[in-house]
Structure 1
Amino acid sequence: MKNISQEELAVAIGVTRKTINTIETGKFVPSTIIALKIARYFKVSVEDIFELDNGIVE
């Protein structure tokens, strides 16, 4: 993947740097739209960047 700053990615996909930071640290789960924009930016599938938590919620 490209080696860019959080700010560069944020500007490229139209979100704040804080949003990118909270996604990277796992404090925020991105919307489908943001996930698709990130994947499109890096020219990979969403599954290449994000994975589902396999934990079972009861």
Structure 2
Amino acid sequence: MKNLIRDLRGERGWSQAHLADLLSVSRQTVIAIETGKYDPSLPLAFAISRLFARPIETIFFPDQEPA
């Protein structure tokens, strides 16, 4: 699954470590999500959605490009 987390994080000037702290996960988890090596659990996906104030479907999408 692809996602826009790296872009959204970059727009805010947040480091991976800062985002990890905000989500109460490890920096390695943030890296794995950003690179598409780990799909977050539904509760974590909702937390990411709330943090960036965007619907989940605008952050995460299948391996094709977003519409």
Q: TM-score range by the shorter chain?
A: 0.7 to 0.9
CA distance in 1, matches of 2:14, 2:55: 18
Aligned residue among 43, 49, 55 for 2:53 = 43
Corresponding residue for residue 8 of structure 1: 18
Question: TM-score, normalized by length of structure 2?
Answer: 0.72
Between the aligned residues of both structures, percent identity stands at 41
Q: Which gives a bigger RCO, structure 1 or 2 (Cα 8 Å, sep 6+)?
A: 2
Radius of gyration: which is bigger?
1
Give the ranges of 4+ consecutive aligned residues of structure 1 lying more than 3 Å apart after TM superposition: none
Which has more strand, going by share of residues?
A: 2
Structure 2 stretches lacking a partner, 5+ long: 1-7
Question: TM-score, normalized by length of structure 1?
Answer: 0.82
The number of equivalent residue pairs is 54
* Cα RMSD, aligned residues only: 1.4
Structure 1 stretches lacking a partner, 5+ long: none
